[in-house]
Amino acid sequence: MNGLPEIAFVGRSNAGKSTAINALAQQRRLAFASRTPGRTRHINLYALGPKDAPDAYIVDLPGYGYAAVERSAKLQWQQVMADYLATRRSLKGLVLMVDARLGLTDLDQRLLAFVARRIGTGEVKLLVLLTKADKLSRRQADATVRATARTLAEFATDHADIGVALFSALSRHGVGDAAATLHAWVRSGEL
């Protein structure tokens, strides 16, 4: 690695991380999206920008919370993710993928608490994408955004950069806004 900033995508297994990465990168098979949760088992990096001079990396982290994986594998993934999220200097942005039908789960909130210091100091920017928004009514979607924003307010500081948005790779709802946010992060030079 040459010190380029990294934007990590994290969330529960089956929250739609790989599908979102593909939608945002405008490529069908960049990140492997499977119907079976728990397929991402390594930290996968994808270059953003020109092939010969990328601007940043998108990082696809293993999902958490999938019960059908062996306990030893789960513990290994958790340790790899914890080390990455706690110590990776080039980590500058975190995109937390949350199934909008479920809202922030206990596991999502534990992850947020784990990275709260880095978010609070502004070292790492946070964007929460409420995925599968196409499966909610407008009223349900609004309620989910409000509930998520209330929880995220606990992590807000003068230095924090925290956002929340509805997202659906299928209907393309929120794809342009999320891409614009990530683009602004990279272009601002603040990453």
Task: Say if 1 falls within a structural domain.
Answer: no
Q: Is residue 63 part of a domain?
A: yes
Decide if 25 is inside a domain: yes
Domain that holds residue 159: 6-187
Whether 127 is covered by a domain: the verdict is yes
Question: Phi then psi for 124, rounded to 5 degrees?
Answer: -125, 125
Q: Is 94 part of a structural domain of the chain?
A: yes
pLDDT of 24-34, one tens digit each?
887 777 776 55
Measure the CA–CA gap between 98 and 16, rounded to whole angstroms.
8
Residue 15 falls inside a structural domain: yes
Count of structural domains within the chain: 1
3-state secondary structure at position 71: helix
Q: Encode burial over 78-116: b for 16+ CB neighbours within 10 A, e otherwise.
A: eeebeebbeebeebbbbbbbbbbeeebbeebeebbeebb
Q: What is the CATH number of the domain that holds 27?
A: 3.40.50.300
Give the model confidence (pLDDT) of 50-107 as tens digits.
888 898 999 998 887 665 667 776 677 778 888 999 999 999 999 999 999 999 999 9
Determine the Cα–Cα distance for residues 129 and 132; give it in Å rounded to an integer. Answer: 9
Question: What's the predicted TM-score (pTM) here?
Answer: 0.89
Mean pLDDT, rounded, for 147-164: 96
